[in-house]
Amino acid sequence: MGTRRKSRELAMQMLFQGDLGKQTPEQVAKLFWDSRDDVDDDTRAFAEDIYRVATAKQPEIDKLIEAHAQNWRLERMAVVDRNLIRAAVAEMMGNPNTPAAIIINESLEVARRYAAPESIHFLNGVLDAIARDLLKQRLA
């Protein structure tokens, strides 16, 4: 697994931990890394960047998700799905130099490990719609 994909996976896991455990970003950051001493500095730094943007912009990200996940309220989504989307959108917002198609593809690869098989089409559709919306906002 590549460094970037591993970072994306770790960022999703951090978001999952905070979401499910109702932990603050500070609590997650401390507890999460305590048990992961095998992660290299570059992988960790990229994961932390995604996590930082996702937590800092969570209200904005959640509004985008709700606007583009037709007939789905955020709290009804599977925890893995919700946090995969949050991580991907955070990366799109925080790293506009990486094409959205790559971020989406990588997120779907992580989803194949952690999400239900039927989630893949849902995640792809929501992420694609959000990516198009973010691109329109940048061009406006």
Q: How does pLDDT run across 26-65, given as a tens digit for each residue?
A: 899 888 988 787 889 899 999 999 999 999 999 999 999 9
88 and 107 Cβ atoms separated by less than 8 Å: yes
- Average pLDDT, stretch 106-131? 95
The residue type of 126 is V
Whole-angstrom distance, CA of residue 140 vs CA of residue 137: 5
Whole-angstrom distance, CA of residue 16 vs CA of residue 34: 16
CATH fold of the domain at 3-139: N-utilizing Substance Protein B Homolog; Chain A (1.10.940)
- Domain extent listing, the chain: 3-139
Beta strands in 36-133 (DSSP E): none
pLDDT at 1 over 60: no
- Average pLDDT, stretch 124-128? 96
Q: How does pLDDT run across 56-111, given as a tens digit for each residue?
A: 999 999 999 999 998 889 999 999 999 999 999 999 999 888 999 999 999 999 99
